[in-house]
Amino acid sequence: MTVESVRPETHPRPEAQPREASELREPPLAGGGVPLLGHGWKLVRDPLAFMAALRDHGDVVRLKLGPKTVYAVTTPELTGALALSTDFKIDGPLWESLEGLLGKEGVATANGPRHRRQRRTIQPAFRLDAIPEYGPIMEEEAHALTERWKPGETVDCTSESFRIAVRIAARCLLRGEYMDERAERLCNALATVFRGMYRRMVVPLGPLYKLPLPPNREFNRALADLHLLVDEIVAERRASGQRPDDLLTALLEAKDENGEPIGEQEIHDQVVAIVTPGSETVASTIMWLLHVLAEHPEHADKVCAEVESVTGGRPVAFADVRSLRHTNNVVVEAMRLRPAVWILTRRAVTDTSLGGYRIPAGADIVYSPYAIQRDGKSYAHSLEFDPDRWLPERVKDVPKYAMSPFSVGNRKCPSDHFSMAQLTLITAALATKYRFEQVSGSNDATRVGITLRPHRLLLRPVPRD
Range in 114-128, 155-169, 428-442 the model is least confident about: 114-128
Domain CATH number, residue 188: 1.10.630.10
The pLDDT of 102-109, averaged and rounded, is 59
In angstroms, rounded to a whole number, what is the distance separating the alpha carbons of residues 3 and 8?
Answer: 10
In angstroms, rounded to a whole number, what is the distance separating the alpha carbons of residues 352 and 361?
Answer: 7
Contacts with 251 (C-beta within 8 Å, 6 or more apart), sequence order? 121, 122, 262, 267, 270, 271
pLDDT tens readout for residues 185-235: 777 777 787 777 777 766 667 788 888 888 889 988 988 988 888 888 888
| Residue at 195 is within a domain | yes
Q: How many domains does the chain have?
A: 2
| Residue at 122 is within a domain | no
DSSP symbol at 369: H
CA–CA distances in Å: residue 116 to residues 92, 175, 282, 376: 20, 25, 24, 37
pLDDT confidence of residue 106: 57
Residue 18 has pLDDT above 70, yes or no: no
| Residue at 181 is within a domain | yes
| Residue at 443 is within a domain | yes
User: Sorting pLDDT into bands at 50, 70 and 90, what band is 65?
Assistant: confident
User: Sorting pLDDT into bands at 50, 70 and 90, what band is 176?
Assistant: low
Residue 124 has pLDDT above 90, yes or no: no
The pLDDT of 338-353, averaged and rounded, is 92
Domain shared by 153 and 235, yes or no: yes
Domain shared by 222 and 289, yes or no: yes
Range(s) of the domain holding residue 140:
127-338+405-465
Domain shared by 174 and 212, yes or no: yes
Domain shared by 299 and 416, yes or no: yes
Domain shared by 246 and 165, yes or no: yes
User: Sorting pLDDT into bands at 50, 70 and 90, what band is 61?
Assistant: very high
Domain shared by 321 and 353, yes or no: no
SS (H, E, C) 101-113: HHCCCCCCCCCHH
| Residue at 112 is within a domain | no
3-state secondary structure of 459: strand
- Nearest CA among 119, 233, 253, 232 for reference residue 174: 233
Domain shared by 88 and 205, yes or no: no
| Residue at 107 is within a domain | no
In angstroms, rounded to a whole number, what is the distance separating the alpha carbons of residues 367 and 346?
Answer: 9
Domain shared by 161 and 86, yes or no: no
Residue 171 has pLDDT above 50, yes or no: yes
User: Sorting pLDDT into bands at 50, 70 and 90, what band is 23?
Assistant: confident
| Residue at 247 is within a domain | yes
User: Sorting pLDDT into bands at 50, 70 and 90, what band is 2?
Assistant: very low
Domain shared by 218 and 282, yes or no: yes
The pLDDT of 338-343, averaged and rounded, is 92
pLDDT tens readout for residues 310-325: 999 999 999 999 999 9
User: Sorting pLDDT into bands at 50, 70 and 90, what band is 369?
Assistant: very high
| Residue at 262 is within a domain | yes
Domain shared by 89 and 150, yes or no: no
C-alpha triplet 175, 181, 187: angle, nearest 5°: 90
pLDDT tens readout for residues 249-295: 888 888 877 888 888 888 888 888 777 777 888 999 999 999 999 99
Other C-beta atoms lying within 10 Å of the C-beta of residue 427: 27
Domain shared by 204 and 231, yes or no: yes
Domain shared by 134 and 262, yes or no: yes
Q: Decide which of 139 and 110 is more confident.
A: 139
Asked if 222 and 189 touch (Cβ cutoff 8 Å), the reply is: yes
DSSP symbol at 180: H
Residue 1 has pLDDT above 50, yes or no: no
pLDDT confidence of residue 5: 38
